[in-house]
Structure 1
């Protein structure tokens, strides 16, 4: 775990605790298979055990931990099957979103997306993987905002936690940020031209490439995967 945890005054503490633990699991700073101690984490972060217990429940709902009565709470190992299913559902939703976004995107929104892409490039150039990861999410969330379908992104967020672990692990070796940025630009080009077919095809290729990263990551970290 990191050396310190700083709360901010702009968000509920329980959400900050959940996001902190989620990020630690997704980045595999807390490795798959690890036992999570409610007492130790509450002392480390400096919050009540009740808040940690609530975070564990939310993490279980996201498919990141397993709570076994009388035995403890464990970080789930990565399921390749669950990753594939989540990617398929995400692709179905996002392809519909990007087509709708092409029909209503404004010039101002085009500029906003381009600004995000430039920030992605800057983060990649400085090996700031966490920042790049967050900007990647912001880019995809922006598509739902442009399409005026925020519920689509909320649905994606509810199923993508397992995908996110594979995405994060693949950044340095299998799917370098520069490659992902190039794919983001292909989607952007379709949006800028208001070409729904081109944008959808680019998005399909982009999301499809993630599946190819599972086997190399599993080969490097076999203990982190189910089966």
Structure 2
């Protein structure tokens, strides 16, 4: 299905570079744009109702993120999945998120913070097999702990680093990674934080992050065209 243009019918202003970048980034991460797909500046400018300038700038940013490859004389293509990049993202995410949940367990959560995280968990359970919404609420759950301890900017670092990791998440759900298991792991992380037990929170987060190692090993064989 052809993506909808970003331009708001009620507005005379074309979308900004940031909006174009965000839309293309999400389509690449969710595999709506598959690895190897060609990205034409002219076609994208027509789709978004803008000039080639903002599109070109958005593509440059996506290249800096490692999401597209620019080949001389050939053009821009959605980058293929990279196992080293996925492992780097997993390493960064695990290190930062363990530090976050340990501090959250040490300092505790306010009632409002607890309700916010519980609401994200409930919404994730309700999303079920809707992978895009499931992962949106998954991110809200994890970000909630960083925000609770006043380190929301740390989640911004995780967001930038985990983009390749996210593509694997979409590729693996729901067949390779049972949703019920992910929800159970989230509940264990939250329970440990609420119990004010940093060691248990770390152990629960390590177990959760280890799931990616179980699914990555056979994905290249199952989806060779994407790697």
Normalising by structure 2, we get a TM-score of 0.91
Cα shift readout 1:86-127 (whole Å, capped 9, x = no counterpart): 101111111111111112321221121111111111111xx3
Partner of 2:164: 162
Question: How many positions carry a matched residue from both structures?
Answer: 221
Equivalent residues in 2 for 1:54-65, closer than 5 Å: 54-65=57-68
Contact 2:7-2:48 at 8 Å conserved across structures: no
Q: Secondary structure at the match of 1:213?
A: helix
Question: What is the CA-CA distance between 1:144 and the residue it aligns to?
Answer: 1.0
The answer as to 2:127 corresponding to 1:120 is no
Mind listing any 5+ residue stretches in structure 1 that lack a counterpart?
none
User: Cα distance 1:174–1:159, how it changes in 2: closer, same or farther (>3 A)?
Assistant: same
CA deviation digits over 1:46-80, x for unaligned, max 9? 22211111111111111111223433111111111
User: Which residue number in structure 1 is paired with residue 5 of structure 2?
Assistant: 5
1:132 aligns with 2:134: yes
Q: Distance in 2 between matches of 1:45 and 1:220?
A: 34
Q: Which residue of 1 aligns with 2:181?
A: 179
RMSD: 1.7
Q: How does 1:1-227 map to 2 (within 5 A)?
A: 2-7=2-7, 13-104=16-107, 105-124=109-128, 127-225=129-227
User: Is the Cα–Cα contact under 8 Å of residues 7 and 49 in structure 2 kept in the other structure?
Assistant: no
Query: Which sections of structure 2, spanning at least 5 residues, go unmatched?
Result: none
- Give the superposition deviation at 1:157: 1.3
Q: Any idea what SS the aligned residue of 2:70 has?
A: strand
